[in-house]
């Protein structure tokens, strides 16, 4: 996973910050912290109990699902604790994780500001399920595929060369969303504005913000909810 869910915060130096965080954690043994990870863009957040702190490493008891995701992400976001002397959130890197024992040891702590909590909509990743899009740009129809989607917008992958895709440009889209059984297809029309383009050569990533349209919103909400249920079920059944 690309850990793009937070901004780094440095209060002193990285080394000083790390030592201060460890010192704070030593006084918090037995306390619970709110952990946050993402599985296919779905937030996974449970309380974790701090068991011990030794050699600049902190051992936590965590929820089974949290342990599963941590084993993939190798990092943990920790929301700012009410007893913390500073307002920043924390990031810890995974030194050890045991999903069976629901045990995680974190090290190399630093301060951060979690940005993903500011999301207004649930986002879902569509990996493994091909869902295509037709982009109507000027007189051209450009094919693309969906990387992730929410009620607020969509990230598209465009494999061919493009022109005229400038930030702020308004586009018409036809989203072709496959049902969980892969047997049915929903076509949803939408208008959207380009907010970001990523890449200097194909494949490009195009980030779009949807315009509010009641019919599209209802259809999208149903699809996203179905995909969210599918991802949660997958996480529950996941063996690592």
Q: Do 105 and 135 fall within a single domain?
A: no
Which pLDDT score, from 0 to 100, does residue 162 have?
81
pLDDT in tens, the chain (240 residues): 344 789 999 999 999 999 999 999 999 999 999 999 999 989 999 999 999 999 999 999 999 999 999 999 899 999 999 999 999 999 999 999 999 999 999 999 999 999 877 777 888 988 766 688 999 988 888 999 999 999 999 999 999 888 888 999 999 999 998 766 666 778 888 899 999 999 888 899 999 999 877 667 888 888 888 888 989 998 988 876
d(CA 17, CA 11): 7
> Is 80 inside a domain boundary?
yes
Residue 219 lies in a domain: yes
Give the per-residue pLDDT at 3.
Answer: 43
Burial class (CB in 10 A: 0-12, 13-18, 19+), 127: exposed
Q: Are residues 137 and 228 in the same domain?
A: yes
pLDDT at residue number 215: 66
User: Would 23 be classed as within a structural domain?
Assistant: yes
Instruction: Report pLDDT for 1.
Output: 36
**Domain interval for residue 17:** 6-118
Domain boundary among 50, 83, 118: 118
Residue 129's pLDDT is 64
Q: Which of 126, 238, 239 minimizes the C-alpha distance to 182?
A: 126
Please indicate, yes or no, whether residues 41 and 22 belong to a single structural domain of this protein. Answer: yes
**What's the whole-model pTM score?**
0.82
Distance in angstroms (rounded) separating the CA atoms of residues 131 and 224: 13
141 and 224 in a single domain? The answer is yes
What DSSP line would sit under 32-72, residue for residue? EEEEEEEETTEEE--EEEEEEEETTEEEEE--HHHHHHHHH
């Amino acid at each position: 996973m690309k850990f793009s869910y937070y901004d780094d915060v440095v209060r002193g130096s990285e080394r000083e910050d790390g030592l201060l965080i460890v010192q704070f954690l030593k006084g918090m043994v037995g306390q619970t912290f709110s952990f946050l990870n993402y599985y296919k863009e779905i937030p996974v957040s449970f309380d974790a109990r701090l068991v011990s702190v030794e050699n600049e490493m902190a051992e936590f008891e965590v929820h089974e699902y949290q342990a599963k995701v941590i084993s993939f992400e190798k990092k943990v976001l920790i929301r700012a604790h009410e007893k913390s002397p500073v307002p920043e959130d924390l990031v810890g890197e995974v030194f050890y994780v045991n999903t069976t024992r629901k045990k995680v040891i974190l090290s190399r702590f630093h301060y951060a500001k979690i940005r993903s909590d500011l999301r207004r909509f649930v986002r879902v990743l569509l990996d493994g399920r091909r869902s295509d899009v037709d982009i109507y740009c000027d007189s051209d129809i450009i094919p693309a595929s969906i990387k992730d989607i929410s009620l607020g917008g969509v990230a598209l992958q465009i494999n061919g060369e493009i022109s005229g895709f400038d930030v702020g440009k308004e586009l018409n889209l036809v989203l072709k969303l496959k049902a969980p059984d892969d047997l049915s297809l929903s076509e949803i029309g939408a208008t959207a504005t380009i907010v970001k383009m990523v890449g200097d050569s194909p494949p490009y990533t195009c980030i779009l913000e949807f315009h509010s349209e009641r019919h599209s919103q209802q259809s999208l909400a149903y699809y996203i909810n179905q995909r969210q249920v599918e991802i949660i079920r997958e996480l529950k059944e996941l063996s690592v």
